[in-house]
């Protein structure tokens, strides 16, 4: 085998391992959320609603998404900088931090 193919093979294995770890973390958080709050259909979530204002701009109600992430984040490493703010970091598959997401806790 040549060096480039060995490097590519190593990257592939590393990516697969990172995906498995992310999947496992999300799966565990999901199962723990179910054990704490019951089945997802009982979490009070519905479809995200987007409305159009009189001036033509759109407004999206993300409260349904907030419920999901609130229940999931209880079981994941999150950073809470404010009682009304849920903050978590997003990483790319190569482990590089890309963004920090902040969601206001309007329904707890």
pTM: 0.54
pLDDT digits 0-9 by tens, 93-103 = 777 777 776 66
CA nearest neighbour of 43 among 65, 26, 68: 68
Q: Mean pLDDT lowest for which of 31-35, 54-58, 63-67? A: 63-67
Q: Where are the domains of the chain?
A: 3-104
**Mean pLDDT for the stretch of residues 34-60:** 82
Burial class (CB in 10 A: 0-12, 13-18, 19+), 71: buried
Q: What is the DSSP string of 26-80?
A: HHHHHHHHHHHH--GGGS-----EEEE-TTS-EEEE-HHHHHHHHHHHTTS--EE
Confidence of residue 108 (pLDDT cuts 50, 70, 90): very low
Q: Are the CB atoms for 75 and 68 separated by under 8 Å?
A: no
For the chain, the average pLDDT equals: 77
């Amino acid at each position: 085998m040549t060096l480039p193919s060995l490097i590519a093979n190593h990257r592939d294995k590393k990516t697969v391992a990172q995906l498995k770890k992310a999947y496992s973390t999300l799966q565990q958080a999901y199962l723990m959320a179910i054990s704490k709050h019951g089945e997802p259909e009982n979490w009070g979530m519905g479809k995200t609603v987007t409305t159009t204002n009189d001036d033509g701009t759109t407004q999206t109600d993300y409260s349904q998404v907030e419920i999901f992430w609130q229940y999931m984040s209880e079981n994941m490493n999150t950073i809470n900088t404010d009682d009304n703010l849920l903050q978590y970091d997003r990483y790319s598959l190569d482990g590089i931090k890309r963004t920090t997401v902040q969601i206001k806790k309007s329904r707890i």
